[in-house]
């Protein structure tokens, strides 16, 4: 993986959903690269689509000054995949075009910031296009494999926990059940950590299929002991036991997006001679849970779906530090000649992990994780 080569120009792109910390990482990479033998830094606009359409800007120190605390990404982002990109009403493999544009721009190495889908797409650019790449793990879901934590997750946990804190007062004032839905895609980290931090009475995550009768029993027991309210934190990917046993999806759904947190399936329709893709809008799972629990318990239930607010705004101090560590380490690896790896955060250190180990697997909550044990010991119900 390591070889003695000189890098004169690096490219940076951000792909998938926006996330707190992207700008902090862009800043770290740009400043470190400029410090290291004055590498030229090219910012690719709007993810892999910008590389295919040859839309870039040259990044200088003054352009990244002051963006450490800004949410979003100054480069823009998209969910386009280079091997399946909608172009002129058709879906085409644009890997050769993307790599060819990078070569013409004299980009020696490409640093991609993104979640699980971005790891796979970056690996495709290397495997099928011969491009040297390095990736950074970004997602509020914390579902990227081979790293202790992805940047953006800490910020999202803080936002969700604060929301649950605020729901307590209205829940107890009105003797209500309040169901708070978080993002997370198919991983329960966000709901689990925010639920524990916010003192949720019930936490429902994808890794533990739930039985609503069990949840209702826990809520009724709270009522019998004089509790005036109940808070339920539910991950968007949580599943009832029946669904977990026999999953199915409509034929027109092509699969999940490469990067959550927008986890609605992609639906394809043929309109006007071209293929149009869009997100299927579905009833939030929290609404279904609240409606059924209200019927089972006879208690008024309300729903709060946090949605995109979880990934907006300024990154937490931890995420700013993490992005700085990951971004500067990525530049060090470039200088050392180590490519085609993800910069993982493990045990407080930033280490390279081969992309083939990252592209594909997801980081899900292990059923023996200490967080689950601790939550159960304080009386949290997981619906099992």
pLDDT tens by residue, 162-192: 999 999 988 888 889 999 999 999 999 999 9
Give the pLDDT score at 272: 56
Give the pLDDT score at 281: 63
Give the pLDDT score at 271: 58
Q: Where are the beta strands (DSSP E) in the chain?
A: 9-14, 40-44, 56-58, 85-87, 90-92, 109-114, 133-137, 177-182, 202-204, 230-235, 266-271, 274-279, 301-305, 341-346, 349-354
Kind of pairing between the strands at 85-87 and 90-92? antiparallel
C-beta separation of 365 from 29 below 8 A: no
pLDDT at residue 288 greater than cutoff 80: yes
Q: Which residue has the tokens 């490519």?
A: 339
Whether the predicted model's global pTM rises above the 0.85 cut? yes
Closest CA to 199 of 162, 155, 226: 162
Give the pLDDT score at 243: 73
Q: In the structure, what pLDDT confidence band is assigned to residue 6 with cuts at 50, 70 and 90? A: confident
Helix (H) or strand (E) holding 291: helix 285-297
Give the pLDDT score at 7: 85
Active site residues per annotation = 141
Top-confidence residue, 257 or 246: 246
C-beta separation of 274 from 90 below 8 A: yes
Q: For 99-112, how does the pLDDT look when each residue is reduced to its tens digit (9 = 90+)? A: 999 999 999 999 99
> Which residues on adjacent β-strands are paired with residue 41?
10
Give the pLDDT score at 260: 46
Q: For 347-358, how does the pLDDT look when each residue is reduced to its tens digit (9 = 90+)? A: 999 999 999 999
CA distance 337 to 8: 12
Top-confidence residue, 373 or 2: 373
Non-local CB neighbours of 202 within 8 Å, separated by 6+ positions: 215, 218, 219, 230, 231, 232, 233, 380, 381, 382, 383
Domains of the chain (ranges, CATH numbers): 9-151+313-358 (3.40.50.450), 159-310+367-377 (3.40.50.460)
> Which residues on adjacent β-strands are paired with residue 57?
43
Give the pLDDT score at 262: 41
Side-chain-side CA neighbours of residue 33 (13 Å): 32
> What's the average model confidence in pLDDT over 61-68?
95
Q: What percent of the chain has pLDDT over 70?
A: 88
Q: For 113-154, how does the pLDDT look when each residue is reduced to its tens digit (9 = 90+)? A: 999 999 999 999 999 999 999 999 999 999 999 999 999 999
Give the pLDDT score at 251: 35
> What's the average model confidence in pLDDT over 293-309?
93
Give the pLDDT score at 250: 39
Give the pLDDT score at 257: 40
Give the pLDDT score at 369: 97
> Which residues on adjacent β-strands are paired with residue 135?
112, 342
User: Exposed, middle or buried, 199 (CB in 10 Å: 0-12/13-18/19+)?
Assistant: middle
CA distance 290 to 300: 9
């Amino acid at each position: 993986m390591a070889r003695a080569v000189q890098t004169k120009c690096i490219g940076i792109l951000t792909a998938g959903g926006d996330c707190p910390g992207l700008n902090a990482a862009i800043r770290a990479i740009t400043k470190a690269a400029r410090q290291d033998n004055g590498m030229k830094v090219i910012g690719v606009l709007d993810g892999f689509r910008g590389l295919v359409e040859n839309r870039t800007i040259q990044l200088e120190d003054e352009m990244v000054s002051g963006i450490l605390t800004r949410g979003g990404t100054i480069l823009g982002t998209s969910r386009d995949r280079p091997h399946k990109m909608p172009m002129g009403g058709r879906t085409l493999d644009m890997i050769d075009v993307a790599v060819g544009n990078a070569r013409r721009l004299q980009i020696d190495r490409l640093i991609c910031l993104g979640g699980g889908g971005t790891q796979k797409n970056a690996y495709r650019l290397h495997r099928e296009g011969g491009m040297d790449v390095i990736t950074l793990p970004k997602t509020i879901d914390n579902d990227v494999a081979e790293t202790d934590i992805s940047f953006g997750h800490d910020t999202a946990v803080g936002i969700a926990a604060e929301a649950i804190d605020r729901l307590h007062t209205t829940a107890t004032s009105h003797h209500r059940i309040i169901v708070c839905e978080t993002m997370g895609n198919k991983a329960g980290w966000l709901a689990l950590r925010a639920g524990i931090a916010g003192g949720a009475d019930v936490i429902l995550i994808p890794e533990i299929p739930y039985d609503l009768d069990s949840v209702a029993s826990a809520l009724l027991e709270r009522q019998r002991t004089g509790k005036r309210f109940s808070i339920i934190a539910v991950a968007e990917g949580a599943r009832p036991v029946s669904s977990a046993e026999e999953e199915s999806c409509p034929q027109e759904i092509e699969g999940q997006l490469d990067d959550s947190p927008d986890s609605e399936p992609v639906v394809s329709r043929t309109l006007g001679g071209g293929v149009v893709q869009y997100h299927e809008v579905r009833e939030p799972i929290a609404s279904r849970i609240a409606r059924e629990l209200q019927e089972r318990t006879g208690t008024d239930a309300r729903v709060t779906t946090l949605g995109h607010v979880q990934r907006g705004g300024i990154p937490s101090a931890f995420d700013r530090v993490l992005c700085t560590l990951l971004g500067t380490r990525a530049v060090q690896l470039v200088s050392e000649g180590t490519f085609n790896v993800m910069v993982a955060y493990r045990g407080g250190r930033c280490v390279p992990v081969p992309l083939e180990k990252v592209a594909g697997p997801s980081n899900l909550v292990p059923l023996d994780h200490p967080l689950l044990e601790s939550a159960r010991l304080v009386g949290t119900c997981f619906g099992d």
